[in-house]
């Protein structure tokens, strides 16, 4: 075991042994062609969703706000009461927030798709040993680089553990992986 507590591996080992329920660490690795392709597909999906939500916003709002432009279009359902106006504001906020959310996810995917091939990119791993509403996570290991992924930790090999854990000797990685598996299997 590493005696220096300031190494990333020693910090992770200490956190796992201290019974913390939410532990995160980062490791840099190059982005694979599969990840880059998945990011490009996700970008296209997010752009389509953004376009559709904006169209829905325009359609919903035309029901209410064509009231102010009678020569351009005639409203199908002009607002009559305060409740109608509040409903219009709700739809405006809802579709705007939805579009912004998908735009932010689009930007994350674009960052991954356009990242230079030769440079490493950090990936954040999260060990959640107890389901938590605070972090909206179930029990398990999560990897996020643009989007949260849930690796199948039950079928990890020694190489998989070495890939996600901070750099250390094979014995240290094996020991820490066994501690993590034990913590995840505890009820």
- Counting residues of the chain whose pLDDT is more than 70, the rounded percentage is 85
pLDDT at 44: 94
CA pair distance 61, 41, nearest whole angstrom: 30
Structure-model confidence comparison of residues 61 and 25, the more confident one: 25
What pLDDT was estimated at residue 45?
A: 93
User: Residue 29's beta-bridge partner residues?
Assistant: 121
Question: How much is the average pLDDT of 59-65?
Answer: 70
- Identify the pLDDT of residue 100: 92
How far is 57 from 72, CA to CA, in rounded Å?
18
**Given this model, what pLDDT does residue 84 score?**
77
pLDDT digits 0-9 by tens, 69-115: 555 555 566 667 788 778 878 888 898 899 999 999 899 899 888 98
The span from the CA of 114 to the CA of 108, in Å, is 10
Q: Is the pLDDT of residue 64 over 60?
A: yes
Q: How far, in Å, CA of 165 to CA of 13, rounded? A: 10
- Position 103 scores a pLDDT of 92
Q: What is the pLDDT of residues 2-12, one digit of tens each?
A: 455 678 888 88
| Burial class of 133 by CB neighbour count within 10 A (0 to 12, 13 to 18, 19+) | exposed
The predicted pLDDT at position 68 comes to: 56
Chain mean pLDDT for the chain = 82
Q: What is the torsional sign of CA 161, 163, 166, 168?
A: positive
Q: Tell me the residue ranges of DSSP E strands in 97-181.
A: 120-128, 140-144, 148-149
Q: Which stretch of 69-73, 137-141, 143-147, 157-161 has the lowest confidence by average pLDDT?
A: 69-73
Residue 19 burial by CB count (10 A; 0-12/13-18/19+): exposed, middle or buried? exposed
């Amino acid at each position: 075991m590493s005696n220096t507590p300031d190494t990333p591996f020693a910090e992770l080992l200490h956190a796992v042994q201290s019974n913390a329920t939410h532990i995160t660490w980062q490791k840099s690795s190059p982005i694979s062609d599969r990840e880059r392709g998945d990011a490009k597909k996700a970008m296209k999906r997010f752009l389509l969703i953004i376009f559709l939500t904006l169209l829905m916003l325009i359609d919903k709002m035309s029901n209410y706000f064509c009231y102010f432009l009678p020569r351009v279009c005639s409203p199908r359902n002009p607002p009559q009461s305060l409740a109608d106006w509040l409903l219009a504001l709700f739809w405006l906020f809802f579709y705007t927030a939805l579009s912004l959310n998908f735009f932010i996810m689009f930007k994350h995917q674009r960052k991954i798709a356009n990242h230079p091939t030769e440079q490493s990119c950090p990936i954040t791993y999260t060990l959640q040993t107890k389901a938590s509403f605070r972090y909206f996570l179930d029990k398990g290991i999560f990897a996020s680089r643009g989007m949260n992924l849930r690796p199948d930790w039950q079928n990890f090999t020694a190489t998989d553990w070495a890939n996600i854990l901070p750099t250390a000797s094979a014995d240290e990685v094996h020991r820490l992986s066994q501690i993590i598996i034990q913590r995840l299997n505890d009820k």
